[in-house]
């Protein structure tokens, strides 16, 4: 090669070619393959093809070797390479004094055993093989998605600047120091010794993150920043029989959204240790508690509780036995809280177990407290709740009336005040459970005067046999919303009956009715929005039956309607 370059440089007119050729040699990444012909030393150039020790621009390949050849042992303190590929059944070994930094991706189809060596992976770590952490510190800035990870007493630090995917491994120590969009769980990992959260959120992604391994390894949480996010998934941790003071990391569940702190704390001295798991479900909805209740609120006297916020904290326990538990939940970012002292906890439609305790925090970072719970009490969904006259909903609804007249339903409602009210969605239901939006009415933004609203439901040709239910969904400009109480009307204009069985049904339902003198009947199937799904013409006389196949229909509620010249028959059908 040297002779060729000298010849080019002595040849007129080829200086530019020489420079270009030289740049190609110096900047392109080269594949350097381990051959192990001499010994196992990484630093011996005779073990590599080509015969030089790989450097920062080299893509290192460790193939499967036949017997008689050695796999490499990292024996340098500062190994820097561009990428790493370990073939199936091939191996790479570390030593306590060694360190390796891989600027690109590592594909491990065989086995990499660090054995005390520090390892820095700047890219993804993937492959069908195993990374054995041993007693090492391992930095990973990309995805950790290889098939297996084996750990004894090592520490893995996820320190990427973008989203990092993480599979279900068992770690001794795991540190989250992500400066970008955080970690997303692809499986449910377990951390047996210490979980450290320095920066970056953990998107649970319908997985369970476990801290601790039981009595001998309860696990420790060190929290500085970041939350566990997502309405699906949970954080599960072991509680020993040691005392856990309120507000300590030993009882912290650092839940939240991408920006809001929705942490939960537990204080206890369990009689028998066990597991507690928590899910946080974020929601902008707010609802009246029906029926409302009162509870003793210490120095505040008796407090009316008639409204709750949609965000909920859902807990489950396993094996733990404890009494005298205390619970704290934080509602950072929940709108409409004017006096955090009047916050309490509730279940969906009733008082929470235990007793009220004085709230802590502030209006911006309110914390509701509950005391004297047992471990079995924790198996519930807890909400922040209050008195709507003190911590009001954005819209104060004075009245909401529904009345049926001349084939239409007139809805009228009145507000006493409004705060950032964008609009009302008018919703209708045939069973009081499955709802469809049938119209929208603009709100008045912010108002301190009485406002009257009206909406007419023409029923879109629907004349149900039985009650019709209505409710209002009030929506703020920021997307937060709440539901009104439900109103219903009964239509007595139905002059004939239509039977359906079985109802509910998985697929086939048989309809039966009494037809007049060979009358013509318009047969229709509609969804709750009034959209026509099926239409046929029928005729007959006397007792009639028809089999309707719902196999291709989505589960839900449907309305079957038969209209003739002198009567209308309707029936609600439920598809499972």
Instruction: Report DSSP state, residue 116.
Output: T
> How do strand 183-185 and strand 202-203 relate by DSSP bridges?
parallel
| 257-261, 329-333, 478-482: the lowest-pLDDT one | 478-482
The pLDDT of 443-454, averaged and rounded, is 86
CA 265 to mean position of chain CA atoms:
20
| 4-13, 49-58, 301-310, 554-563: the lowest-pLDDT one | 4-13
Q: Where does the pLDDT of residue 513 fall: very low under 50, low under 70, confident under 90, or very high at 90 and above?
A: confident
The pLDDT of 446-462, averaged and rounded, is 82
| 2-16, 187-201, 401-415, 437-451: the lowest-pLDDT one | 2-16
Asked whether residue 437 carries a pLDDT value surpassing 80, the answer given is yes
Asked whether residue 145 carries a pLDDT value surpassing 80, the answer given is yes
Note the pLDDT of residue 5.
35
Note the pLDDT of residue 454.
95
C-alpha 287/C-alpha 300 separation (Å) is: 23
CA 379 to mean position of chain CA atoms:
20
How many C-beta atoms surround the C-beta of residue 104 within 10 A? 16
Q: Where does the pLDDT of residue 134 fall: very low under 50, low under 70, confident under 90, or very high at 90 and above?
A: confident
CA 401 to mean position of chain CA atoms:
38
Note the pLDDT of residue 111.
97
Beta-bridge partners for 367 = 330, 360
Note the pLDDT of residue 193.
98
CB 167 within 8 A of CB 144: yes
> How do strand 30-34 and strand 234-239 relate by DSSP bridges?
unpaired
DSSP string covering 138-152: EEESS-B--SEEE-S
- For CATH 2.60.40.150, list the domain ranges present in the chain: 498-575
Taken in order 351, 357, 358, 364, is the CA torsion positive or negative? negative
Q: The domain 498-575 belongs to what CATH superfamily?
A: C2 domain (2.60.40.150)
Asked whether residue 2 carries a pLDDT value surpassing 70, the answer given is no
What's the pTM value of the predicted model, to 2 decimals?
Answer: 0.70
Taken in order 384, 390, 392, 396, is the CA torsion positive or negative? positive
| 21-61 tens-digit pLDDT | 333 333 446 799 999 989 999 999 999 999 999 999 999 99
The pLDDT of 506-510, averaged and rounded, is 86
Note the pLDDT of residue 9.
37
Q: Where does the pLDDT of residue 393 fall: very low under 50, low under 70, confident under 90, or very high at 90 and above?
A: low
Q: What are phi and psi of 342, to 5 degrees?
A: -95, 15
- For CATH 2.60.40.10, list the domain ranges present in the chain: 395-490
Asked whether residue 16 carries a pLDDT value surpassing 60, the answer given is no
pLDDT, greater one: 428 or 175: 175
Average pLDDT, the chain: 87
Q: Where does the pLDDT of residue 246 fall: very low under 50, low under 70, confident under 90, or very high at 90 and above?
A: very high
Rg over alpha carbons for the chain, rounded to the nearest Å, is 34
Q: How far is CA 23 from CA 20, 53, 539, in A?
A: 5, 21, 87
The pLDDT of 83-112, averaged and rounded, is 97
Q: The domain 395-490 belongs to what CATH superfamily?
A: Immunoglobulins (2.60.40.10)
Asked whether residue 153 carries a pLDDT value surpassing 50, the answer given is yes
Asked whether residue 287 carries a pLDDT value surpassing 60, the answer given is yes
């Amino acid at each position: 090669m040297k002779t060729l370059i000298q010849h080019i440089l002595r040849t007129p007119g080829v200086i530019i070619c020489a420079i270009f050729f030289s740049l190609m040699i110096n900047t392109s990444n080269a594949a350097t393959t381990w051959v192990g012909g001499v010994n196992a030393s990484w630093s011996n150039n005779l073990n590599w093809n080509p015969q030089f020790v790989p450097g920062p621009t080299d893509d290192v390949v460790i193939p499967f070797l036949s017997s008689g050849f050695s796999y490499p042992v990292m024996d340098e303190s500062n190994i820097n390479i561009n990428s790493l590929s370990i073939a199936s059944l091939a191996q790479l070994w570390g030593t306590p004094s060694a360190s390796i930094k891989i600027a690109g991706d590592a594909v491990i189809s065989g086995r990499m055993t660090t054995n005390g060596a520090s390892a820095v992976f700047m890219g993804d770590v993937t492959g069908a093989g195993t990374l054995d952490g041993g007693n090492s510190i391992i930095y990973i800035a990309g995805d950790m998605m290889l098939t297996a990870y084996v750990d004894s007493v090592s520490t893995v630090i996820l320190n990427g600047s973008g989203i990092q995917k993480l599979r279900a491994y068992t770690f001794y120590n795991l540190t989250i120091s992500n400066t970008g969009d955080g970690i997303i769980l692809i499986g449910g990992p377990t951390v047996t010794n210490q979980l450290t959260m320095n920066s970056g959120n953990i998107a649970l992604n319908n997985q369970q993150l476990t801290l601790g391994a039981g009595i001998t390894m309860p696990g420790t949480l060190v929290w500085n920043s970041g939350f566990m996010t997502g309405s699906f998934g949970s954080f599960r941790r072991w509680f020993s029989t040691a005392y856990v003071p309120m507000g300590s990391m030993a009882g912290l569940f650092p839940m939240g959204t991408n920006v809001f702190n929705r942490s939960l704390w537990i204080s206890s001295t369990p009689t028998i240790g066990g597991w507690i798991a928590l899910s946080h479900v974020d929601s902008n909805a707010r609802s009246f508690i029906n029926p409302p209740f009162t509870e003793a609120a210490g120095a505040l006297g008796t407090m009316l509780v008639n409204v709750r916020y949609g965000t909920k904290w859902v807990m489950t326990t396993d094996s733990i036995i404890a009494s005298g538990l205390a619970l704290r939940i934080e509602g950072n970012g929940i709108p409409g809280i004017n006096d955090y002292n009047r916050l309490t906890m509730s279940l969906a439609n009733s008082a929470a177990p235990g007793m009220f305790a004085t709230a802590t925090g502030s209006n911006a970072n309110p914390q509701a407290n509950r005391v004297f719970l047992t471990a079995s009490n924790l198996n519930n969904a807890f909400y922040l709740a209050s008195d709507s006259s003190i911590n009001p909903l954005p819209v104060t609804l004075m009245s909401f009336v529904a009345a049926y007249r001349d084939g239409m339903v007139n809805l009228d409602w009145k507000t006493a005040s409004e705060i950032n009210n964008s609009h009302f969605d008018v919703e209708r239901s045939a069973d009081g459970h499955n709802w469809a939006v049938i119209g929208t009415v603009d709100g008045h933004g912010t108002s301190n005067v009485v406002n009257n609203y009206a909406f007419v439901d023409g029923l879109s040709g629907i004349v149900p046999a039985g009650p019709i239910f209505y409710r209002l969904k009030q929506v703020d400009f920021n997307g937060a919303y709440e539901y009104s109480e439900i109103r219903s009307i009964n239509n007595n204009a139905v002059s004939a009956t239509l039977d359906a069985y079985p109802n509910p049904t998985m697929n086939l339902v048989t309809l039966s009715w009494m037809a007049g003198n060979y009358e013509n009947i318009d047969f229709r199937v509609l969804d709750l929005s009034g959209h026509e799904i099926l239409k046929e013409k029928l005729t007959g006389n006397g007792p009639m039956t028809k089999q309707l196949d719902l196999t291709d229909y989505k589960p839900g509620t449907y309305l079957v309607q038969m209209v003739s010249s002198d009567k209308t028959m309707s029936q609600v059908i439920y598809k499972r």
